[in-house]
Structure 1
């Protein structure tokens, strides 16, 4: 039974992203940060007054995480960078690949403030990506390779499990996670998308430990019980390419959903005028706060 029947996500503005991704709720600002990858924009949405702050970027950003009041950290084509919200300038941290035909995609911070993000090919090559960790001392580790499209990730509420999607595998993997060391342990498959509509893209983990997965090409966000490997509900959207989701709002009860125009034919674009919109709904469950990147020099 679908517990979300009757839930209708609504667009928050008129903006339509070419490839919306990476929604991330900034608790201190009560604002949603997200990116339009192909539009080369970092965007902020304030639900209190509906205002939007738009930052034009010099390159594609796949993910953005909070850091300080004036600085965020981006995973971009040229690697990890600090981005100053006042000067609107990037400061390089490290590029672990230095490959013009790859770019970073989705990423998030763990409870210790490390930034985990992965890469993908820009020219359609399979298994050319990798998964990385930017540590608090600004060193970078290559966790594993052989990745097609590094995508959604998130942690169990107790922080002991990392869930990870490589879209090309059509699966969600779970890794035992040591938050003190920032290391992965035993791996298992918890969700198979073989019988699902579309491809697994971005993901959020709610306060009860359920997985919320965006279906690229499938027009929905599905909710899963990872312990049982079962889908327990889904939210339908009026667009095909659903890319990612994140919980936000004062009570973390708002589910923000990014979508994309990218990949649609002219006919599909005409049929889906809301494609590329940032949507929001209140499905009932609550999410977990997003962690900030913690640089050793500024850590408390």
Structure 2
């Protein structure tokens, strides 16, 4: 019988890592060079942490449309982004170098890219959704290293997460509007998904699973929008930890080896509290891989960056 999964040790006092309060912080990632990057989706900004927590977040790029998440490029400089209605390639200084729009997202309802992650093979998995979260208008897309785009899943509403297990055999995806996180078997050579199962589901009124990560022991960490908490699950789906936060709308999580970092949002709040929209941190002994780099080609994809509402 396998040994039970260890419950991680986590502190209780969250502190902000910058003076900013973001509208819709998301997509927090640890890079190989030690930087932490994140996005403010609706303002189209890519940000990194300041050297001093009493300082402001440092802007790396600003796009004229929503920015869902980024992955570092395998060239060692720059980023691949899920942005607007497709993908954008950014130089290290934030300059847009190329882009690829997805024709399926151009018609009504008005849609945008959302959260995204890269797997160890350099494939970029990115969700899309309607601005007003129309049921069934969301999808999951995969940008392969050769530049091919495949719409892998349709009829989603608010795809979030996605996250990959350390062995690359499982892709986790939240559909936040339905309160569920699904686990798929992933063929490592092709990226094909199969065998969908419900990994966990929250009861109505208990919040919505949002951004996720998987640590080195295979435990899944999920921000829970609307519930003021982060949850940690064992690989078999057992709930190990519910960690309360001082803000109601946590959006994504990142593990640095000694800290748990959580982005939050003040979007939709009539009277935001002092920590709504903050990037928060708490001591944590869980470790996780750094963000996998994207290996996708950007040649022959250059086009104008057209602002979107």
How does the TM-score come out when normalised to structure 2? Answer: 0.87
Which residue, out of 124, 129, 141, partners 1:120?
129
CA separation in 1, counterparts of 2:51 and 2:28?
14
What's the counterpart of residue 281 of structure 1?
282
Deviations 1:6-34 (A, max 9, x none): 42221101001000000111112x11111
Moved more, 99-108 or 144-153: 99-108
User: Is the 1:17–1:39 Cα contact (8 Å) retained in structure 2?
Assistant: no
- Residue 234 of structure 1 aligns with which residue? 242
3-state secondary structure, aligned to 1:173: strand
Q: Look up the match of 1:71.
A: 78
- Is the CA contact 1:70–1:86 (under 8 Å) kept in the aligned structure 2? no
What CA distance in whole angstroms lies between the structure 1 residues aligned with 2:187 and 2:150? 15
Residue 42 of structure 1 aligns with which residue?
46
- Residue 67 of structure 2 corresponds to 61
1:10 maps onto 2:6 in alignment: no
- Rate the CA distance shift 1:194–1:209 in 2: closer, same or farther, 3 A: same
Instruction: Please give the secondary structure, in 1, of the residue aligned with 2:42.
Output: coil
Q: Write the deviation string for residues 153-177 of structure 1: whole angstroms up to 9, x where unpaired.
A: 2111211111111112211111111
Alpha-carbon distance in structure 1 between the residues aligned to 2:153 and 2:18: 38
Contact 2:10–2:282 (CA under 8 A) maintained in structure 1: no
What SS does the aligned partner of 1:286 have? coil
Question: In the alignment, is the contact (CA less than 8 A) between 1:204 and 1:245 conserved in 2?
Answer: yes
Question: How many Å separate the matches in 2 of 1:108 and 1:124?
Answer: 21
| SS of residue paired to 1:8 | coil
Q: CA deviation at 1:284?
A: 1.6
Aligned partners of 2:88 and 2:96 also within 8 Å: no
Alpha-carbon spacing, 1:236–1:97, altered in 2? closer, same or farther (3 Å): same
Distance in 1 (CA, whole Å) between partners of 2:123 and 2:8 is 35
Question: Could you tell me whether the CA contact under 8 Å between 1:93 and 1:138 is conserved in 2?
Answer: no
Q: Is the 8 A contact 1:96 1:140 kept in 2?
A: no
Question: Tell me, what secondary structure is at the counterpart of 1:38?
Answer: helix
> How many residues end up aligned between the 2 structures?
289
Distance in 1, Cα, partners of 2:199 & 2:158: 18
Q: Alpha-carbon deviation of 1:195? A: 6.5
Please identify which structure carries the higher strand content: 1
Query: Gapped runs of 5+ residues in structure 2?
Result: 1-6, 300-309
Structure 1 residues 164-183: aligned runs within 5 Å = 164-183=173-192
Alignment of 1:127-146 (within 5 A): 127-146=136-155
Give the Cα separation in 1 of the matches to 2:184 and 2:219: 15
Q: Which moved more, 1:13-22 or 1:279-288?
A: 279-288
Does the aligned pair in 2 maintain the 1:214–1:244 contact within 8 Å? yes
Q: Which runs of 5+ in 1 are unaligned?
A: none
Query: Residues 132, 297 of structure 1: CA spacing in aligned structure 2 closer, same or farther, 3 A cutoff?
Result: closer
